[in-house]
Structure 1
Amino acid sequence: MKAIWNGTVVAESDDTVVVEGNHYFPASALDPKYILPSNTKTMCSWKGEASYYTLFVDGDANPDAVWYYPQPKEAAAEIKDRVAFWKGVKIEA
C-alpha cells in the first residue's frame, strides 16, 4: 500500500492494519523528510489519545494529515507504532 499526497509517496508498506476503514502503516514506513511535528491531540473512546504530524511536500503543508496513537488502549493494541492518513492523502495498492 502507498500513501500519496501532492504527487509524492510519503509512506509505503505491504504490512498495513485496517481499522475503521483506515490503513495503518508501520511508523517506519513514513518518510520522515515529509513530516513536521504538530501539537494537535484528539481522544477516541476506545483507541485512546491520538497525536498528529503535518505533511510538508514541495513547499505545501497539510496540517495534521497523519495521526497515530503513541499509547493506544488495549482494544487498539494492533495499531501501536503505526500511522494513518486523511485530509486528501490517497491510499493506493
Structure 2
Amino acid sequence: MQALLGTTVLAEAEEADLVRIEGNWYFPPASITAGVLTESPTAYTCPWKGACQYYSVVDGDAVQQVDAAWAYLTPFPSAIERVGSDFSGYVAFSPQVKVVS
C-alpha cells in the first residue's frame, strides 16, 4: 500500500505490515520515505492511545501540508493490547493523503 500526497509517495508497505486503527492505516516507521516528514509542534494526547506526535509533509525546506501525519511513539500498554499489535511509531495520515493498494 502507498500513502500519496499528490504524486509524492510518503510511505509504502505491504498491507500485512500495516495496522488499522479507527479507520486509519498506520504504516511502519521503516516504510516512511526519507525526508518527507518533519515534526510538528502540534500537541495532542488521545485518551486511550496516549501522546501523539504530529508531522508535516515537506519538500526540501518548504512545508507542503501541515499536520498531515501522526504517530504514537510510546502508546499506552492498554492501547497496544486493545489494538492487538504494537503500533509504536507507526504513522497514520490525514484525509488529504490518499492511501491506495
TM-score (norm 2): 0.84
Task: Note if 1:71 corresponds to 2:74.
Answer: yes
What is the RMSD of the two structures over their aligned residues, measured on CA atoms?
A: 1.5
Give the corresponding residue for 2:89.
81
One of 22, 25, 45 as aligned partner of 1:23: 25
Which amino acid is the alignment partner of residue 45 of structure 2? M
Give the 3-state SS of the residue equivalent to 1:81 in structure 2: coil
Query: Deviations 1:15-50 (Å, cap 9, x if unpaired)?
Result: 100010100000111112111221112111100010
Name the CA distance, whole Å, in 1 between partners of 2:25 and 2:59. 21
User: Equivalent residue for 2:57?
Assistant: 55
Highest CA radius of gyration, 1 or 2? 2
Letter in 2 for 1:70: L
Moved over 4 A (4+): none
Gapped regions of structure 2 (runs ≥ 5): 81-85
Give the aligned length.
Answer: 93
Of 33, 36, 40, the residue aligned with 2:35 is 33
- Give the TM-score taking structure 1 as reference length: 0.90
Higher relative strand content:
1
CA contact (8 A) 2:3 2:9 kept: yes
CA distance in 2, matches of 1:8, 1:43: 29
Q: Deviations over 1:31-82 (max 9, x none)?
A: 1211122111211110001011100147551001110011101122221121
1:91 to 68, 78, 99: 99
